Amino acid sequence: MQIRTLATLLAAATQLVVAKPLALPQDPNTSTAISPSATIISASEAPTATAPTPVNPNANPCAQVAQMYNNPNTTSDSTGYGSFVSFTPKVPAKLAWDCLNDVPLDSVSAGPWLDSLRPYIEWQSTTAYLKNPPEGYQEPAADVWGDFESIKSRAASGEFANEYELEFALYRLFQTTHDGHFRYLPKLAGGVFGFGRPISLVSYSIDGTSRPKPYVYSDVLSFFVNGTAEPSTVTQIDGQDALEFLENWAQYGSLQDPDALYNNVFYELAQVSLGTSGSGAGTFAGAGRGAYIYPGPTTTLQFENGTTAKFDNFARVLTSFRNIQSGADLYKTYVNPKVSVTSSVSVNNNAVATATVSPRPGYPSPVVIQQNNYIAGYYLDEPGYEDIAVLACTSFVGEDDYQDVAYSFIEQASAAGKTKLVIDVSANGGGTILQGYNLFLNLFPDILPYGATRFRSHETFDIIGETASERIWYYPFNYTNPPNPVWQDFGGGTPFTYRSDVDINYENFTSWRDKNPPNEFYGDNFTSIIRWNLSDPLNTPANGVQVNGFGNRTGLPPSRPFTPENIVILYDGYCASTCAIFSELMTEQAGIRTISIGGRSRDGPMQTVGGVKGTNNYPWSFINELVTDTYALAPDQAGFFNSTSLYSYVDPDTSFTPFQRALTESGQVNVRDGIRMGDETQTPLQFVYEPADCRLYYTAEMTVDVTAIWEKVVDVTWNGDSCVDGGFSSSEEYNEKRAEGASVAKLKAERRLKKRKQQMTASRALALAQSQDLFTDLNSIVPRQGLMLP
Ligand SMILES: *[C@@H]1O[C@H](CO)[C@@H](O)[C@H](O)[C@H]1NC(C)=O
Ligand SMILES: *[C@@H]1O[C@H](CO)[C@@H](O)[C@H](O)[C@H]1NC(C)=O
Ligand SMILES: *[C@@H]1O[C@H](CO)[C@@H](O)[C@H](O)[C@H]1NC(C)=O
Ligand SMILES: *[C@@H]1O[C@H](CO)[C@@H](O)[C@H](O)[C@H]1NC(C)=O
Ligand SMILES: *[C@@H]1O[C@H](CO)[C@@H](O)[C@H](O)[C@H]1NC(C)=O
Ligand SMILES: *[C@@H]1O[C@H](CO)[C@@H](O)[C@H](O)[C@H]1NC(C)=O
Ligand SMILES: *[C@@H]1O[C@H](CO)[C@@H](O)[C@H](O)[C@H]1NC(C)=O
Ligand SMILES: *[C@@H]1O[C@H](CO)[C@@H](O)[C@H](O)[C@H]1NC(C)=O
Ligand SMILES: *[C@@H]1O[C@H](CO)[C@@H](O)[C@H](O)[C@H]1NC(C)=O
Ligand SMILES: *[C@@H]1O[C@H](CO)[C@@H](O)[C@H](O)[C@H]1NC(C)=O
């Protein structure tokens, strides 16, 4: 099977989206239903009713898992959240852990495997910076190449106790860079089991000003719906101080900011709205990256009121255990099967099964909504908030339908007399790069987006660029009918022909050397600054987006639908990738003000963008394809290419190894840095500290109703209410309102809480309760050039 091209990826996604915005009629009383928008992947794996064997407690751990897996009575998630995608029964966490650790180390295969990853790691743009991070970066340094060599020598000398230890160390090497674009998930580390805890937590401040504390979410729901006592704070987890435990646990996440990482530990409505493509219940409960960390057999919580509660942890079985009798079987059949070396890199091209949650629990009825809940517009029903429009921009993954929802909402809101706009980018891990540009241009059609980027320059990159610049002898070309089909990979967004893109001054490059001198910064080599040429007619066919103000989307009303001081952006820290691009344009070029919510139980400012700020990721399969494209562009140069680093990507002995040993599309690399306008040092934005103008804490009602968050955001931005750190003092109106003082804020806070108690119905509470069982299903996510996978 051929590897998927970026174009095919985009085409595959197109089939899923409808062209028209959907204004879903929503009955707030209906309980949450999950609606998969595509095919069931492996229903055939569900157990048959034949020959059930009772679990033999003396069998080896993988055999016991197999017995449970084959038992027809083994249930998947009680709510059915996982069952439509594939059969995912739960087994005890300890049993899964023992099974993983029962796979013997294959130190013979380890060396060639690890070496096969090197060519892809070369593309990571930030290794020099990670080793010795600039001041402002909030996470520890990471010596990628040093750690890589150390893993390699430990594997060779048999220092790892088993194969899982090796795979987990490798996973952590990528994860500790806290770059959500730099990713590799070996099969044992993430494809066999997804660990979890049967409880999710939330973190909030009891009065909005004192530091947030952790609570069990079901206690919070019970408080709202059944009027039980206020939940008691979790003070200890497994005998350790709860805050310390949770801050440490947070570090297993992908984000680069400690407050953002901390938020991702907890249940969050915005993440839940993304269905199985989000990290709804939080990493503590096993969603997102929490699934890869063994939580121990049990979890013990101690509460402030003196009560202790103990829970059994579980593991979801993510792969078939038919015919597995031991760890060695698991290795042979799943982890490293002997495959025919004649097949080229193959990427699982399963239909995408995006599970959306409909209606979104904790959200009001939308004015307009995209079918995957990726973007939606809302008005607030609370008296006094009639002039507010809220754009919940939860993802940037999208094509026409996405763009139409945003455009139509902004148009409708203006027409309806809404003068102020809250843009909520909570849970937004990015998506289609040009959707970020498009939304900015929708709001500020008169500003040319800056968007400076650069690539790391290395031998393979340079040879591909030199070849493409020579052999693709004119630009733009006819995308649907190019002289050679591989040209498509070089049009509308990749940097390899100098004729595409524009330079730092928005002018054409004059040669490949002009585009890739290379330049040295921080002890490494990089291209010149590259910007998107928004007039490039290949952008639309290659990316599925025609940005506003260009091509046939010129002269569209309304121009500047909101003034900059009437827009505010709300962050939960998760914003990454295309969201980071959007944020940079909004704050640096339009001067939009920002609010961050949540974070650690510590005073002080919180950053806005806590996810990766690199501006482009490439799946490793795409890099592999670029290399084979290069051979196809210049067949006469094959002998030369074979003598260079290009050969390592096509070497028939090893070229498929990186893909065979890991989850589909799990190999990703950050290829582009984002660079701030005027920064002569060209420090990647990934390492630049950016506090929000205002920080807020969550309060209890904000964990059950997102409109409580939006009301508070409006109050601190335009109505004189205070932030826990920072704040706004620009307008006169604001200062007058501030004079009303804290007593008004207190009354409002009481009213917000009371209203949510009154409005909480049993069915709403049930929908919220059930959504805690959502887990992250990587099969439900279409990888995109500007998306941080969870
Ligand atoms: C929703 O619930 C409320 C209160 O229980 C009830 O009055 C109303 O009729 C219900 N609406 C629908 C559409 O079922
Ligand atoms: C499955 O459940 C049925 C009904 O409860 C029971 O009769 C049967 O023995 C169970 N089978 C196994 C293998 O546990
Ligand atoms: C509220 O009480 C009812 C009846 O006891 C119970 O079934 C339900 O689970 C409770 N809801 C929550 C969220 O605790
Ligand atoms: C203590 O708090 C926990 C968590 O809110 C609750 O489940 C438990 O019932 C409380 N215990 C008592 C004795 O009130
Ligand atoms: C591209 O080629 C196709 C097939 O020859 C043709 O139908 C189409 O009009 C061309 N597009 C452009 C923009 O020239
Ligand atoms: C810039 O490059 C494009 C693509 O090669 C070309 O069509 C265009 O004429 C050039 N523009 C200028 C101003 O040189
Ligand atoms: C950008 O692309 C358009 C369309 O190919 C071209 O006309 C233009 O010259 C390019 N460069 C600049 C600087 O706009
Ligand atoms: C950067 O490029 C120069 C010139 O090609 C080369 O000598 C040097 O080794 C490169 N540095 C790195 C870190 O690759
Ligand atoms: C622009 O062109 C595309 C493709 O031809 C078409 O689908 C779209 O409707 C057009 N958009 C506008 C605003 O005319
Ligand atoms: C380049 O390497 C490939 C893979 O080993 C081989 O099939 C091909 O013949 C080589 N080409 C040349 C011209 O050496």
Please give the distance, rounded to the nearest whole angstrom, from the Cα atom of residue 48 to the centre of ligand 2. 13
Q: Which of 207-211, 570-574, 773-777 has the lowest mean pLDDT?
A: 773-777
pLDDT of residue 557: 78
**Pocket flag, ligand 5, residue 758 (CB < 6 Å):** no
**What does the pLDDT look like over 275-284, one tens digit per residue?**
999 999 999 9
Q: Which atom of ligand 3 is the closest one to the Cα of 768?
A: 13
Please give the distance, rounded to the nearest whole angstrom, from the Cα atom of residue 234 to the centre of ligand 4. 10
Instruction: Assign 321 a pLDDT band (cuts: 50, 70, 90).
Output: very high
Residue 75 makes CB contacts below 8 A (sequence gap 6+) with 89, 90
pLDDT of residue 400: 87
| Residue 59 CB-half CA count within 13 A | 18
**Pocket flag, ligand 4, residue 231 (CB < 6 Å):** yes
Instruction: Assign 5 a pLDDT band (cuts: 50, 70, 90).
Output: very low
**What does the pLDDT look like over 355-410, one tens digit per residue?**
677 789 999 999 999 999 999 999 999 999 999 999 999 999 998 899 999 999 99
From 168, 429, 390, select the one nearest 292 (Cα to Cα): 168
pLDDT of residue 733: 58
Whole-angstrom Cα distance, residue 114 to residue 152?
Answer: 7
Residues lining ligand 9, CB < 6 A? 546, 552-553
The residue length of the chain stands at 790
Q: Please count the other Cβ atoms lying within 10 Å of the Cβ belonging to residue 584.
A: 27
Mean pLDDT for the stretch of residues 421-436: 98
Q: Which residue has the higher pLDDT, 15 or 787?
A: 787
Mean pLDDT for the stretch of residues 740-764: 91
Q: What percentage of the chain has pLDDT greater than the value 70?
A: 87
Question: Which residue is closest in CA terms to ligand 6's atom 8?
Answer: 508
Whole-angstrom Cα distance, residue 84 to residue 34?
Answer: 9
Q: Which atom of ligand 6 is the closest one to the Cα of 500?
A: 4
Please give the distance, rounded to the nearest whole angstrom, from the Cα atom of residue 510 to the centre of ligand 3. 69
Q: Which of 14-23, 169-178, 615-624, 667-676 has the lowest mean pLDDT?
A: 14-23
**Pocket flag, ligand 7, residue 535 (CB < 6 Å):** yes
**Pocket flag, ligand 2, residue 52 (CB < 6 Å):** yes
**What does the pLDDT look like over 515-525, one tens digit per residue?**
999 999 999 99
pLDDT of residue 345: 42
pLDDT of residue 74: 66
Mean pLDDT for the stretch of residues 474-495: 98
Question: Taking 50 as the threshold, does the pLDDT of residue 11 lie above it?
Answer: no
Mean pLDDT for the stretch of residues 125-145: 98
Q: What percentage of the chain has pLDDT greater than the value 90?
A: 82
Question: Taking 60 as the threshold, does the pLDDT of residue 591 lie above it?
Answer: yes
**Pocket flag, ligand 5, residue 681 (CB < 6 Å):** no
Instruction: Assign 208 a pLDDT band (cuts: 50, 70, 90).
Output: very high
pLDDT of residue 42: 38
**Pocket flag, ligand 2, residue 47 (CB < 6 Å):** no
Q: Which residue has the higher pLDDT, 9 or 781?
A: 781
| Residue 542 CB-half CA count within 13 A | 24
pLDDT of residue 441: 97
Q: Taking the alpha carbons of 257, 262, 267, 269 in that order, is the dihedral positive or negative?
A: negative
pLDDT, averaged across the chain: 90
pLDDT of residue 70: 87
Ordered domains of the chain (ranges, CATH): 26-241+266-348 (no CATH), 368-444+560-612+688-703+706-758 (3.90.226), 452-553+615-683 (no CATH)
- What are phi and psi for residue 307, nearest 5 degrees? -75, 150
Instruction: Assign 237 a pLDDT band (cuts: 50, 70, 90).
Output: very high
- What are phi and psi for residue 772, nearest 5 degrees? -65, -15
Tokens of 153: 């020598």
Please give the distance, rounded to the nearest whole angstrom, from the Cα atom of residue 227 to the centre of ligand 2. 39
Residues lining ligand 6, CB < 6 A? 475, 499, 508
pLDDT of residue 399: 86
pLDDT of residue 739: 61
**What does the pLDDT look like over 30-45, one tens digit per residue?**
344 444 333 233 334 4
Q: Please count the other Cβ atoms lying within 10 Å of the Cβ belonging to residue 384.
A: 12
Question: Which residue is closest in CA terms to ligand 4's atom 8?
Answer: 307
Q: Please count the other Cβ atoms lying within 10 Å of the Cβ belonging to residue 31.
A: 17
Residues lining ligand 10, CB < 6 A? 638-639, 642, 650, 652
- Strand intervals (E) in 394-530: 420-424, 430-431, 452-455, 519-521, 524-526
DSSP 8-state symbol, 447:
S
**What does the pLDDT look like over 632-645, one tens digit per residue?**
999 999 999 999 99
| Ligand with minimal distance to 541 CA | 9
Residues lining ligand 3, CB < 6 A? 218, 221-222, 225-226, 765, 769
DSSP 8-state symbol, 189:
H
pLDDT of residue 736: 63
Whole-angstrom Cα distance, residue 303 to residue 284?
Answer: 17
- Measured between its terminal Cα atoms, the distance across the chain in Å is 27
Tokens of 32: 């949450």
Q: Which atom of ligand 2 is the closest one to the Cα of 54?
A: 13
Whole-angstrom Cα distance, residue 177 to residue 670?
Answer: 11
Q: Which of 162-176, 427-441, 600-614, 719-733 has the lowest mean pLDDT?
A: 719-733
pLDDT of residue 2: 31
| Ligand with minimal distance to 216 CA | 4
**Strand order, beta sheet including 314-317:** 90-92, 314-317, 193-196
pLDDT of residue 355: 61
pTM for the structure as a whole: 0.92
With contact defined as beta carbons under 8 Å apart, do 472 and 490 qualify? yes
pLDDT of residue 25: 29
pLDDT of residue 45: 44
Whole-angstrom Cα distance, residue 295 to residue 273?
Answer: 25
Beta bridge pairs of residue 452: 675
Question: Which residue is closest in CA terms to ligand 7's atom 2?
Answer: 536
From 753, 776, 773, select the one nearest 704 (Cα to Cα): 753
Instruction: Assign 56 a pLDDT band (cuts: 50, 70, 90).
Output: confident
With contact defined as beta carbons under 8 Å apart, do 398 and 431 qualify? yes
pLDDT of residue 35: 45
Pairing of strands 388-393, 420-424: parallel
Instruction: Assign 354 a pLDDT band (cuts: 50, 70, 90).
Output: low
Tokens of 72: 């027809």
pLDDT of residue 71: 82
Q: Which residue has the higher pLDDT, 400 or 590?
A: 590
The string of DSSP letters for 556-624 reads: PSPSSSS-GGGEEEEE-S---THHHHHHHIIIIIS--EEEEE--SSS-S--BS--S---SEEEEHHHHH
Tokens of 786: 């500007």
pLDDT of residue 732: 58
Q: Which of 487, 496, 506, 508 to mutate to test the pocket of ligand 6 (most atoms within 8 A of CB)?
A: 508
Question: Which residue is closest in CA terms to ligand 4's atom 13?
Answer: 307
Q: Which atom of ligand 2 is the closest one to the Cα of 71?
A: 13
Tokens of 598: 């949540």
From 288, 287, 337, 334, select the one nearest 69 (Cα to Cα): 334
Please give the distance, rounded to the nearest whole angstrom, from the Cα atom of residue 725 to the centre of ligand 6. 49
Question: Taking 80 as the threshold, does the pLDDT of residue 738 lie above it?
Answer: no
Please give the distance, rounded to the nearest whole angstrom, from the Cα atom of residue 533 to the centre of ligand 9. 19
With contact defined as beta carbons under 8 Å apart, do 645 and 459 qualify? yes
pLDDT of residue 743: 80
Q: Which of 474, 475, 478, 487 to mutate to test the pocket of ligand 5 (most atoms within 8 A of CB)?
A: 478
Tokens of 660: 């065979």
**Three-state DSSP class for 79?**
coil
